[in-house]
């Protein structure tokens, strides 16, 4: 496993657990490579024995010596669902046996396996999950146990939180500009029509930076969260970026749920690059927004974007480099509204109650309103994160606020995330060579130098595609 892959400016604290984790990674990776030759055949046989149980869809695994097909018969439940994995290294089999689904992810990241259609592969695994349970064997559990123990270093204490956020967000702003829309919103959008991009041809060109003008002071017309029928894909060549439009539609939905009024004071936990704060300040005269982030890069770009709007708006938006648990005492009960978009995933299970306690603490008693947008996300992408469920969120909300916070409504925009991710992936691939890779090399010249740097770039690219 790469030891230098994109170290972030704020590194994880030097600790016994941190050293133990690094030592385990070195030992386990070395063990995989040393044991590859004598154990690969055994691992391959074990994996094949489990995959033979596939009954829905069809999976082909191509090696240097043969091709496996699961199931072998063409008479499977879903002839339309097919996928192919090409094995480039015998380490693929060992990773699957020792680490299960995480092993597949790492094998893909490190080029030990190739797959053109990850989505279909995931669908096959999901539809056959009960039949494939043995793939996460006792051996894989024991092998991953030391990593689970040493991952305690990712617990989101005040000292660790900035490192955890930096591990994801304190990559160059230019890198994120390579795949986000002009508004720089990094969360689920709301499109006019779900999956229309799968039904109609996509525009050949993706808008470049500055081509689409984001107007924060003009509300996007939207009557509800439900997507409305639309038979034609809006042409990006006409100056309309559907992703940007969808992100502003989502922001307006959040504002509407929060019932923000002119002159109110709003707290945003998790600034992003300032798109929500800007939208609020420009739409509601006299409204002030305090927004907090743990990312130096996000704060810097948010400051620039806010300054460009003019003094009337910039005087009412303040971006603080601050942990949500370290807000000043003067903010007690100060805010009419609290908004937090896709930040709760980075809080960590141990601090969910505290997160909602702080929201309750910051809101005005009796009249305060909060809006939270939440998703689930893999631990490999967000160190210190969790996979919250709705019931867990409500339980923590009630417990953390001692019953003072009450759920008023729940909106499910989850189906829109599939297209949001497809849009990001399309832009990520289209702009990787000319925007993202140069940004990475500029920010991490030592890591990205020479032949080793080429390997790091490819691992980074595959990691984000997998995500």
Instruction: Say whether 297 sits in a helix, a strand or coil.
Output: helix
DSSP H or E stretch at residue 304: helix 296-307
pLDDT of residue 222 exceeding 50: no
Rounded Cα–Cα distance for residues 293 and 322 (Å) = 6
Average pLDDT estimate for 284-302: 96
What integer is the mean pLDDT of 127-135? 81
CA distances, 293 to each of 265, 268, 326, 386, 461 (Å)? 18, 9, 12, 19, 26
- Tell me where in the chain the CATH 3.40.50.150 domain(s) lie: 175-416
| Residue 210, pLDDT score | 57
- C-beta separation of 445 from 7 below 8 A: no
Q: What distance in Å separates the CA atoms of residue 357 and residue 351, rounded to the nearest whole number?
A: 10
User: Does residue 280 register a pLDDT over 90?
Assistant: yes
94: left (phi over 0), alpha (psi -120 to 50) or beta: alpha
Listed ranges 36-40, 73-77, 81-85, 383-387; the one with the highest mean pLDDT:
81-85
Cβ(153)–Cβ(20) under 8 Å? no
Residue 205 has pLDDT above 80, yes or no: no
Lowest mean pLDDT across 24-38, 68-82, 101-115, 232-246: 24-38
Q: Provide mean pLDDT across the span 223-239.
A: 38
Q: What is the mean pLDDT of residues 218-239?
A: 39
Q: Greater confidence, 230 or 63?
A: 63
pTM above 0.85, yes or no: no
DSSP 12: P
Q: Exposed e or buried b for every residue in 368-400, given b needs 16+ CB within 10 A?
A: bbbbbbbeebeeeebbbbbebeeeebeebbbeb
Say what the pLDDT of residue 169 is: 40
Residue 76 pLDDT: 66
Mean pLDDT computed over every residue of the chain: 81
Local structure of 337: helix, strand or coil: strand
Cis peptide before 71 (omega within 30 of 0): yes
- The strand pair at 288-293 and 265-269 is best described as parallel
Give CA separation, 300 vs 2, 107, 271, 294, 307, in Å. Answer: 29, 36, 11, 11, 11
* Structural fold of domain 175-416: Rossmann fold (3.40.50)
* Higher-pLDDT residue of 18, 393: 393
Give me the residues paired with residue 85 across strands: 61
Q: What percent of the chain has pLDDT over 70?
A: 72
């Amino acid at each position: 496993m790469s030891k230098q892959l994109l170290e972030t400016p704020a590194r994880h604290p030097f600790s016994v657990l941190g050293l133990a984790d690094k030592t385990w990674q070195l030992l386990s990776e070395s063990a995989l490579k040393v044991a590859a030759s004598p154990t690969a055949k055994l691992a391959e046989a074990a994996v094949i024995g489990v995959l033979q149980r596939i009954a829905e869809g069809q999976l082909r695994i191509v090696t240097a010596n043969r091709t496996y097909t699961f199931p072998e018969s063409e008479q499977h439940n879903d002839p339309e669902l097919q996928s192919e994995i090409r094995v480039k290294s015998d380490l693929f089999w060992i990773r699957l046996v020792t680490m299960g689904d995480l092993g597949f992810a790492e094998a893909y990241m490190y080029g030990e396996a190739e797959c053109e259609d990850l989505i279909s592969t995931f669908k096959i695994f999901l539809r056959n999950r009960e039949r494939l349970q043995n793939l996460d064997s006792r051996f894989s559990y024991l092998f991953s146990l030391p990593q689970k123990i040493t991952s305690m270093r990712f617990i989101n204490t005040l000292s660790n939180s900035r490192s955890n956020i930096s591990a994801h967000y304190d990559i160059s702003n230019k890198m994120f500009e390579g795949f986000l829309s002009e508004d720089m919103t990094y969360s689920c959008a709301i499109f006019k029509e779900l999956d229309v991009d799968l039904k109609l041809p996509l525009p050949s060109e993706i808008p470049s930076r500055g081509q689409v003008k984001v107007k924060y002071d003009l509300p996007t017309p939207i009557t509800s969260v439900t997507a409305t029928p639309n038979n034609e894909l809006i042409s990006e060549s006409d100056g309309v970026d559907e992703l940007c439009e969808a992100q502003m539609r989502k922001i307006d939905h959040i504002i509407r749920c929060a019932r923000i009024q002119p002159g109110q004071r709003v707290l945003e936990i998790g600034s992003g690059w300032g798109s929500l704060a800007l939208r609020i300040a420009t739409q509601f005269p006299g409204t002030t927004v305090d927004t907090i982030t743990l990312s130096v890069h996000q704060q810097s770009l948010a400051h620039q974007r806010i300054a460009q709007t003019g003094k009337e708006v910039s005087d009412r938006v303040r971006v603080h480099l601050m942990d949500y648990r370290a807000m000043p005492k003067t903010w007690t009960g100060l805010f009419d509204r609290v908004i937090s978009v896709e930040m709760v995933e980075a809080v960590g299970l141990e601090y969910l109650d505290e997160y909602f306690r702080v929201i309750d603490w910051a809101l005005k008693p009796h009249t305060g309103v909060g809006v939270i947008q939440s998703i689930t996300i893999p631990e490999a992408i967000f160190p210190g994160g969790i996979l919250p469920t709705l019931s867990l969120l409500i339980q923590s909300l009630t417990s953390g606020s001692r019953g003072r916070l009450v759920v008023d409504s729940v909106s499910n925009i989850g189906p829109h995330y599939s297209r949001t991710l497809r849009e990001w992936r399309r832009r990520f691939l289209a702009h990787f060579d000319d925007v993202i890779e140069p940004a990475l090399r500029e920010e991490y010249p030592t890591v990205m130098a020479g032949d080793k740097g080429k390997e790091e770039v490819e691992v980074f690219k595959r990691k984000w595609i997998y995500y």
